[in-house]
Amino acid sequence: MDASIDGVKPLPPLQIGDYTIPVPIIQGGMGIRVSANGLASAVANEGGAGIIATVALSLASQYYQKGKDYFRANIKALIDELALTREKSPKGIIGTNCMVAIKDYEAMVRTSVEHGAQLIISGAGLPLRLPEFAQSNPRAALIPIVSSLRAASLLAKRWLKQYKRIPDAFVFEDPNVAGGHLGVNRKQLFDAQHGSDVVVPELAEWSRKEYGDEIPIVTAGGVWDRKDIDHALSLGAKGVQMASRFLCTYECDAHPNFKQAFIDAKEGDVVIVDSPAGLPGRAINTEFTRTLFRGGEVADHCFATCLEYCLCREQKEAFCVAAALHHAQQGNMTHGLVFTGTNAVRHNKIVHVSDIFDEIRAGRPAPS
């Protein structure tokens, strides 16, 4: 048994499928290219699981030249990101986040498992066919993101019947505090019944009773420090997914302007936008969102038909979410959308990923 650090009990490792994650932290996938090889490898080297967000990876790559090259370029860019992450973290646990809602979902999953991803995290829709797309590597751990016990139960039964396997874990994403696209509609936001304190114990009890505790529950949304992790584990979760906490790190793959937006953010600067994907999304209030809210002109040209369903493409409404996220990652805050969780305003400086892990292992409170 590991010795305690200054009386602080060590965090238990997180076992998902064939893989043991020494520190029970999965870094959340953040697109576009906010969590790429730099951040993912740094987290993996600290004992967490580093996750590459696969959506629209090609936009800042050498491969994307024009609209028709988009999907082919995404595959090549993902292969590069996986290779670079593994080069930087030879022994770490690495994976990808593949959104069901994107048109090249199948290609992103297949490319991931064929090029070394150990974990596939999949949300923004129910990943009903994920085992089929990942079958070339049976060791790859498959982890759906769900927003309710009902969704988890439906998916587990479907996979067991159709593929003779169950999910290796579930990530529950709390829509009341999580960043980016949220798994409920606007009317359901901020309802305690959809939050971690209610749903995580339900999922943990269900996993224990129905599957002998073989499906670990990982909770996401609002996890910032050791206190939050300990609380999540007390609810029955086996681990946590952290995303926003890693945004203001030297290793985060976004532009310095992107990170500065968080350091400058004040109370009230976290807003809800209506994404053209048909979901609410949580973001920092930037010049882009202010223009959006007052009905001003924002980029509304669909350049790649990247989403299965998109109001920008089909009804000429809203904006191109891929373009807006890409602009932000590149440092263009005037035209950029910056997704975040509710903890955005807690950032006050740029730190190393290792600093965050040292603080969490030692049980120190997060700097204020």
- Helix, strand, coil share of the chain (percent; to 5): 40, 15, 45
In this predicted structure, what is the pLDDT of residue 91?
A: 97
Max intra-chain CA distance, the chain? 59
In this predicted structure, what is the pLDDT of residue 146?
A: 94
Q: pLDDT > 90: what percent of the chain?
A: 64
Q: How far apart are CA 326 and CA 157, in angstroms?
A: 37
- Residue 50 predicted with pLDDT over 50: yes
All structural domains of the chain, each given as residue ranges with its CATH number in brackets, are 14-252+346-362 (3.20.20.70), 256-342 (no CATH)
- Residue 305 predicted with pLDDT over 70: no
Peptide bond into 32 cis (omega under 30): yes
Beta-carbon contacts of residue 361 (< 8 Å; ≥ 6 apart): 5, 8, 10, 11, 23
First-to-last alpha carbon distance for the chain, in angstroms, is: 32
Query: Taken in order 16, 20, 24, 30, is the CA torsion positive or negative?
Result: negative
Closest CA to 169 of 20, 350, 351: 20
For residue 351, what are the β-bridge partners? Answer: 249
Model confidence at 1, pLDDT cuts 50, 70, 90, reads very low
Q: How far apart are CA 339 and CA 244, in angstroms?
A: 9
In this predicted structure, what is the pLDDT of residue 314?
A: 54
Model confidence at 223, pLDDT cuts 50, 70, 90, reads very high
Where is pLDDT greater, at 181 or 64? 64
* The model scores a pTM over 0.75: yes
Closest CA to 256 of 323, 355, 329: 329
In this predicted structure, what is the pLDDT of residue 306?
A: 63
Q: Say how many residues make up the chain.
A: 368
- Residue 99 predicted with pLDDT over 70: yes
Where is pLDDT greater, at 177 or 1? 177
Q: How far apart are CA 244 and CA 223, in angstroms?
A: 8
Question: For the segment 271-286, what is each residue's pLDDT rounded down to a tens digit?
Answer: 988 877 677 788 999 8
Element (H, E) at 84: helix 70-88
Q: pLDDT > 70: what percent of the chain?
A: 88
